[in-house]
Chains A and B, each alone.
Chain A
Amino acid sequence: MLAAIANAFSEKRTKTARIPGDSGVFLFVLADMSMFGLFFLSFIYERSKNVPLFNESRLALDVNLGAINTIILLTASWFVVVAVQAAKRGKLNYVAPFLFLGFVCGAVFGGIKIYEYADKIQSGISMMSNDFFMFYFILTGIHFIHVIAGMVILAVLWHNARHKRYHGENCKGLESGATYWHMVDLLWIIIFPVLYMLG
């Protein structure tokens, strides 16, 4: 098995280059990532004006919940990868269950995020409290909307997969939806350290 894994990693780009999914979706993903990139750089610029305030404010956030949510989204992404690979290899019975598992992870992420928001609001913290929390609520709020959109996409993919609509010759829709979900995951990979650890 180890040899097989090593072969997969050392796979040369001998195959013809291809776009795994719809090129329009990849363009949208790049545009969305660029918008978040500007948010991250704006955050770091504003932080440079008042480092003590940002450092103090981030202590109100729960790093453990942020880290758990990171692991949940990484796991969701992996489930979706397994679903796509199963469809490509004709193992159609695996596709829908793994998409469902990805959806469940998204729901758990959302539940933890709502708990965090409720905790902050109960502590009297809102986006008007200071610049740090303005960034916190806007960045995580926009990301949360992306998570919900991603869950809707996973639900549609799951419905189609249950009817065996994705297979070796028809994976474009599944790959495109998976690409969007991976973007949701990778954006959180940056949001987590930037907000919860830099502050």
Chain B
Amino acid sequence: MGIVFNSSTVVWLILVLSTCTTWWLSAGSVTFTSVAAILVIAAIKIRFVFSYFMEVRHMPIAWRLAFDGWLVIVTAGLVSGIWFSA
């Protein structure tokens, strides 16, 4: 595969398209569901950055757990915070 067109290009495209989806979701009415969807999309984007940009997927299991653990704690904290204040 080429230097410019390879799996990282596809990942970048997915990240940009999901940002546009979030952008579109934010234009509608703000409900718990739409906000939770926006946060989950952000978490999935970060998982892509971890795996394919930072190459965390090639790291030893302890590192992978540390990065994924951070993501789960932050996302769960944000979504539950929104839920309890809804």
Please give, as numbers and ranges, the residues of chain B lying within 8 Å of A189 by CB-CB distance: 42, 45-46, 49
Q: Which residue in A17, A20, A47, A190 is a CB contact (below 8 Å) of B46?
A: A190
Q: A55-B30, A182-B53, A186-B50 are in contact. Are A85 and B8 (CB under 8 A)?
A: yes
Bin the interface of chain B by size.
Answer: 35 or more
Task: Write the B25-38 contact mask toward A (1 if CB under 8 angstroms, else 0).
Answer: 01100100001001
Residue contact B26 to A41, C-beta cutoff 8 Å:
no
Min CB–CB distance B65 → chain A (angstroms)? 11
How far is A178 from B49 in the complex, measured between Cα atoms in Å? 12
Residue contact B57 to A13, C-beta cutoff 8 Å:
yes
Residue contact B53 to A81, C-beta cutoff 8 Å:
yes
Residue contact A197 to B58, C-beta cutoff 8 Å:
no
Whether A4 sits at the interface, judged by CB under 8 Å, is yes
Question: Interface majority SS on B: helix, strand, loop or mixed?
Answer: helix
Q: Which residue in A18, A34, A85, A186 is a CB contact (below 8 Å) of B6?
A: A85
Q: Which residue in A5, A9, A20, A190 is a CB contact (below 8 Å) of B58?
A: A20
Whether A198 sits at the interface, judged by CB under 8 Å, is yes
Whether A44 sits at the interface, judged by CB under 8 Å, is yes
Bin the interface of chain A by size.
Answer: 35 or more
Q: A75-B12, A186-B49, A189-B46 are in contact. Are A37 and B70 (CB under 8 A)?
A: yes
14 additional contacts, CB 8 Å, given A48-B85, A198-B35? A5-B6, A37-B73, A37-B74, A40-B74, A44-B82, A48-B81, A64-B23, A67-B20, A85-B8, A86-B3, A182-B53, A186-B49, A197-B38, A198-B38
Chain A interface residues toward B at CB < 8 A: 1, 4-5, 8-9, 13, 15, 17-20, 26, 30, 33-34, 37, 40-41, 44-45, 47-48, 51, 55, 63-64, 67, 70-71, 74-75, 77-78, 80-82, 85-86, 89, 91, 94, 175, 178-179, 182-183, 185-186, 189-190, 192-194, 196-198
